[in-house]
Amino acid sequence: MAETVLVTGGSGFIAGWCIVELVKRGYVVRTTVRSLAREAAVRATLAPQVDTHQNLSFFAADLTSDTGWDEAVAGCDYVLHVASPLGTGQEPRDRNALVAPARDGALRLLRAATKAGVKRVVLTSSVAAASPILDSGDSLTDETLWTDLADKNLNAYRVSKTMAEQAAWAFMAEQKSATTLATVLPSAVLGPVLSAEGLGSVQIVQRQLNGKMPGTPRIGFSVVDVRDVADLHIRAMTSPAAAGQRFIAAGDYMWMADIARTLRETLGARAAKAPKRGLPDFVLRLMSIFDRDLKLVTPTLGHRHAFNATKAQTMLGWTPRPATTAVLDCAESLIALKAV
């Protein structure tokens, strides 16, 4: 008999690909959306990848409310808790607007899952929860590091991901339930998009294609393909060794200039608006005086903060695609959806 998996936040980028992979692998899949009015739209975005009329059902549940979570997890073997407030690049005036739903939503899900006797919960965290001090020198970080919440340069998204994961581990440490927890910490997630909504880190590629970047600042990322992130979630879900473990999901490091060059050289005229020159650090710092959102990235200028995914590769046999594949497939999907 096929096992049942709940994927929270079914309208999201990572959650969508988790659903696709689970359906392809024969699982019975449930997913949550904040309102069932979203069901038709989510099914439509998934339809090009899988048959959404078999083994996929929807439940209404919101991170800010207790309603619906018990019903969604009842009878499930596993849960992939992907739903979380998305960092849009714009810092909210009230930091708690991201922190509270991320932390409290994770706890709501874990309470329901442990009560229902779910075998394992895999929580989607972020390398934002395993980052060094942002204005420090170059680094290569693994899962043993926790973000220092005293870092003055942290934005609300980094704080929310750190506090949510910490709260999840603290909750599980107090439980006598047979339910186990694993966490997946993706870096900059690119790859093909299923819809033009909630793009998150995909905006790195989108803004280069649509000409909204006058130049490339000295900022870089460990890039990972969304399909590989979904695969790692499923590996962390099923491997006995993954219980109680954190796993970084990261691939090759690329500077913004590398991404722009890859787009121009491969896509030609379709990437004509991708920036061809660098943006000097002092220009970005000057701009940040008038744009508070730019202040969030200035501490990392010129610093190569990369992430090490050796643990996922050796313990779970996970192999990520090349970063250039993630960039180009992301761009092709954005162009196909007319999102640039």
Q: Is the dihedral of CA 267, 187, 258, 293 positive or negative?
A: positive
Burial class of residue 292, CB neighbours in 10 A (0-12, 13-18, 19+): exposed
Contact yes or no for 284/302 (Cβ under 8 A) = no
- Residue 313 CB neighbours (<10 A): 15
N- to C-terminal Cα distance for the chain? Answer: 44
Identify residue 177 by its one-letter amino acid code. S
Helix (H, G, I), strand (E, B) or coil at 184: strand
Active site residue 161: yes
Contact yes or no for 236/182 (Cβ under 8 A) = yes
Q: Is the dihedral of CA 24, 307, 260, 292 positive or negative?
A: positive
* Rounded CA separation 244/289 (Å): 43
- CA 172 vs CA 84, 182, 186, 281: distances in Å: 19, 10, 21, 44
- CA 215 vs CA 44, 227, 253, 326: distances in Å: 36, 29, 19, 21
Contact yes or no for 136/303 (Cβ under 8 A) = yes
Contact yes or no for 61/69 (Cβ under 8 A) = yes
* Rounded CA separation 29/8 (Å): 10
Catalytic residue among 115, 152, 161, 311: 161
Contact yes or no for 68/58 (Cβ under 8 A) = no
**Active site positions, annotated:** 161
